[in-house]
């Protein structure tokens, strides 16, 4: 069944690009909004993507983001705009550094530090891509949920990112302990055509990178979202090579540890040709609030 079927009720790609196109209200101050459809609090990937847009618009066009480090401080309110204040920390000969604070109701809800680099030659190597089936041989997340539950839950309807898990999903591992694993490879791409500029590509990657990482922690323990309180705490990304977020990318995720109501997950992102384009690490709060799983 097509991802564009009538059951899909969330935002379109044009909606997402619109909310990523921030309004500049002063030299280093930008304002962003949340989509009309979405979760009850601002999605972490959205505020990270908007903060990166704000930082990128203060940087020379010949410098590209190579790393970002972010902290999620407070839940965002999707009913009011977010103000992004950019601090131009440094403009060097090869590197540019920016710090961004996202503010709502007079308080910081998110901070981001990003570094931009003017391209230059150097050493080149990478970890090889895992051997997995191609995305055309796999069902999407929405299709698998529809087959299992007869409908697509609201929390996966509202975004224009198509995801195709290679292995078990967390609700499947909850039902079958034999499916528990600490790896979680997922193919994903933006459902539509993106502009060619690299800032848009990395902002969409940043948005999508927050969607499945903490699921990888749950998958290891055979838990799903029921009875679990989860929130992203911090998020780090390194961008290695150019890519397009509207072409299939493999997000090879794993969870090396969980303890003390926190879980760590990391991922490597590859093009389907096997180029390593991005590395991601995230720690999240994962608090068990009941003793039973999703029946």
- 177: CB partners within 8 A, 6+ apart: 222
Q: Of 50, 140, 232, 253, which residue is the catalytic one? A: 232
How far is the C-alpha of 85 from the C-alpha of 179, rounded, in Å? Answer: 45
Q: Based on the number of CB atoms within 10 Å of its own CB, is 272 exposed (0-12), middle (13-18) or buried (19 or more)?
A: middle
Q: Of 210, 224, 253, 255, which residue is the catalytic one? A: 210
Structure tokens at 187: 């193919």
How far is the C-alpha of 143 from the C-alpha of 152, rounded, in Å? Answer: 8
> What does the angle CA 222 – CA 267 – CA 221 come to, to the nearest 5 degrees?
10
Structure tokens at 170: 């967390």
Q: Of 34, 50, 224, 282, which residue is the catalytic one? A: 282
282 is catalytic: yes
Q: List, in sequence order, the alpha helices (H) in 24-169.
A: 44-56, 141-149
Active site residues: 210, 232, 282
């Amino acid at each position: 069944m097509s991802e564009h079927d009538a059951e899909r009720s969330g935002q379109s790609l044009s909606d997402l690009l619109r909310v990523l196109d921030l309004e500049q209200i002063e030299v280093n101050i930008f304002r962003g909004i949340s989509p009309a459809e979405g979760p009850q609090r601002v999605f972490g990937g959205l505020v990270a993507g908007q903060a990166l847009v704000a930082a990128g618009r203060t940087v020379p066009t010949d410098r590209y983001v190579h790393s970002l480090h972010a902290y999620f401080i407070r839940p965002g309110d999707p009913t009011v705009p977010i103000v992004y204040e950019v601090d131009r920390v440094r403009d060097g000969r090869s590197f540019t550094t920016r710090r961004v604070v996202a503010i709502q109701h007079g308080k910081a809800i998110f901070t981001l530090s990003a570094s931009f680099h003017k391209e230059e030659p150097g050493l080149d190597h990478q970890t090889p891509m895992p051997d997995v089936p191609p995305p055309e041989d796999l069902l999407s997340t929405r299709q698998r949920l529809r087959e299992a539950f007869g409908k697509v839950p609201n929390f996966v309807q509202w975004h224009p990112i198509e995801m195709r898990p290679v292995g078990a999903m967390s609700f499947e591992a909850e039902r079958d302990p034999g499916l528990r694993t600490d790896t979680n490879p997922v193919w994903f791409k933006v459902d539509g055509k993106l502009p060619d500029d690299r800032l848009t590509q990395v902002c969409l990657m940043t948005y999508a990178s927050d969607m499945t990482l903490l699921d990888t922690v749950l998958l290891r323990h055979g838990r799903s979202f029921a009875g679990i309180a989860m929130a992203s705490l911090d998020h780090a990304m390194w961008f290695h090579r150019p890519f397009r977020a509207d072409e299939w990318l493999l997000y090879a995720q794993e969870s090396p540890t969980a303890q003390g109501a926190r879980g760590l997950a990391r991922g490597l992102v590859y093009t389907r040709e096997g180029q390593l384009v991005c590395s991601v690490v995230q720690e999240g709060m994962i608090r068990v609030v009941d003793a039973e799983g999703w029946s």
